[in-house]
Structure 1
């Protein structure tokens, strides 16, 4: 929808209203035709699901799926995962009910109890930060399938899906190496977080594979914010030998990095290449557009729904942890070193 909105010269919301044939929205025939034509040119076709669902008798619907997440407002990842689950649920004629729990020891079990009282046939349990959890006892007691999203347990009692962060960090760094960069800096997230640890591990693995010595001066700790990216970039530029490329471990950090580089009179990517991570909407609109890695929460939400077919009841058996690829999105913020040009 983002691509279609850009091509049609309208908002993503307008594209959604047109493609889903939303009733009660007054859009001109010209706007509708422009959106449909942009979709056709880009190779997309309007979904047939609304009409299909209307034709399916309610007795044939498979049921209602519960989705609980500890936090919704801190970042877009939870909403993206919910959208992936929603798409896959609706494809099968299921309804998705969502609850935010804030990981509260009292309210979380009450929220899940409220969902089960409404007859959910399965539960997706998500955490906003990727991590190992100790599953609450009430999850083991549920008589429905439970899927963990962005988290996992040591005993592997539930099917789980997380991003493949080490491979993602390695792929992003390797992309810079492929362009001839050897002095590659990275601005990390908060070190206690698994995502930051694994992206850094992937960065180090890519350097080792390319026989590039690890330089701790090129690693600056951040906190995922634009202000931290700005401060960290200024620190990197103060080194006797500045880096030729900077791996920002999320896109918000890259925003601050861009500002610091431009303030210093440096051109991206001619003077310094920059890569991000997460593929947030802002990455498409930075100038130059930011090369980044996709955080696969949409695919993770879809995967979670797909696993429910034939899934065992909660806490039964031992299950693998599935890791989904953080694919690289190449845009305009990386260039070859002078030696490679």
Structure 2
């Protein structure tokens, strides 16, 4: 009988729980990401907690693990680069996780076409790529081309996953994100909270809506289908959906827009109705798009964790994990409180 004691590996989630912050914040701190603003006090607290818990030796993002890749390169295959900043943020997170070890990142855009993926894969391997990160611009299940079946280097999936869980995969924790956005409004006293969802076939829209419903249930608030309007991720759809929400008999006191572009349209509709944000109506977005800081008032939103996801992917390549199946790794979103959300106005009877 083996009497050796098995020690549970400390995870980023353990550090986040003990430090009282999100897993995304822990990832940013431990990866020394400098272009995301985190207070010195919070940064020090995370580092102290990580040290006290013994986090590090088994960390998938520990820089020392990248020494085997030193002087080499990693290939990124992504379907789209130009439509949204998520792909660029993920690549930037990967760069931060690898630059000290002189690892070059080569990027190929394929528009999701199998023939382009095969050519990109062949050329990345020819260039000496020691690992491949395969990324989808929106979270989804993917069916990989057969060219990925017998790769001579590790493969990690970013923002996507396969049915058979053959490869390490990382996605945002969208359900928890939707719950956080809704709960932030409930904590401010809102009881009639509308939500504008994205296209319902997308997993992000489904999970954010599930999080919204979960937050209502946890607070003992009834689900009202009239408060849920489908949009298409665009400002125009946010504008039109907000008009619908404002026209119902008992309109909401707050609206959770499931991306920032729809929130921009929501702002316009609220203004045209002669209402003020947040005095008459609170608004929360999602994504932390650049526009969220230029709206007036600035938009409370959730930051998608693509930078820490990119860093996690690089760490998995360094680990060269070959055992399967792999559990999908979910990274939490961060709520960014700004001026667009407040307590509900007292309405006259």
Stretches of structure 2 that go unaligned for 5 or more consecutive residues are 1-38, 41-67
1:202 aligns with 2:211: yes
Displacement, 1:323? 0.4
Partner of 1:103: 112
Displacement, 1:79? 1.1
1:269–1:137: structure 2 CA closer, same or farther, 3 Å change rule?
same
- Choose from 197, 200, 203 the match for 1:191: 200
1:168 aligns with 2:177: yes
- Deviation digits for residues 163-216 of structure 1, max 9, x if unmatched? 000000001000000011010000000000000000000000000111111000
Residue pair 2:69, 2:101 contacting (<8 A) in 1 also:
no
Superposition pairs for residues 239-258 of structure 1, below 5 Å? 239-258=248-267
Question: How far apart, in 2, do the equivalents of 1:61 and 1:202 lie?
Answer: 41
Partner of 1:67: 76
Question: How far apart, in 2, do the equivalents of 1:156 and 1:325 lie?
Answer: 20
- Choose from 329, 333, 338 the match for 2:336: 329
Question: How far apart, in 2, do the equivalents of 1:106 and 1:73 lie?
Answer: 20
Large movers: runs of 4+ above 2 Å: 59-62
Partner of 1:221: 230
Partner of 1:158: 167
- Deviation digits for residues 88-137 of structure 1, max 9, x if unmatched? 12122100000001111212111111100111000000001101112222
Length-normalised TM-score, structure 1 = 0.80
Stretches of structure 1 that go unaligned for 5 or more consecutive residues are 1-41, 44-58
Question: How far apart, in 1, do the equivalents of 2:71 and 2:144 lie?
Answer: 27
Partner of 1:146: 155
- Choose from 91, 94, 100 the match for 1:85: 94
Partner of 2:59: none
Partner of 1:116: 125
Partner of 1:55: none
Structure 1 residue matching 2:90: 3-state secondary structure: helix
Q: Which moved more, 1:84-93 or 1:222-231?
A: 84-93
Length-normalised TM-score, structure 2 = 0.78
- Deviation digits for residues 263-319 of structure 1, max 9, x if unmatched? 111010010000000001111111111000011111111111122222235xx5211
Question: How far apart, in 2, do the equivalents of 1:102 and 1:338 lie?
Answer: 47
1:60–1:156: structure 2 CA closer, same or farther, 3 Å change rule?
closer
Displacement, 1:338? 4.0
Across the two proteins, how many residue pairs are aligned to each other?
A: 283
Displacement, 1:60? 8.9
Displacement, 1:65? 0.3
- Choose from 280, 286, 295 the match for 2:289: 280
1:298 aligns with 2:298: no
Question: How far apart, in 2, do the equivalents of 1:137 and 1:211 lie?
Answer: 49
Partner of 1:54: none
Question: How far apart, in 1, do the equivalents of 2:197 and 2:113 lie?
Answer: 29
Residue pair 2:177, 2:211 contacting (<8 A) in 1 also:
yes
Structure 1 residue matching 2:111: 3-state secondary structure: coil
Question: How far apart, in 2, do the equivalents of 1:119 and 1:221 lie?
Answer: 46
1:127–1:256: structure 2 CA closer, same or farther, 3 Å change rule?
same
1:261 aligns with 2:261: no
- Deviation digits for residues 54-90 of structure 1, max 9, x if unmatched? xxxxx99341000010111221111111111122121
User: RMSD in angstroms over aligned alpha carbons?
Assistant: 1.8
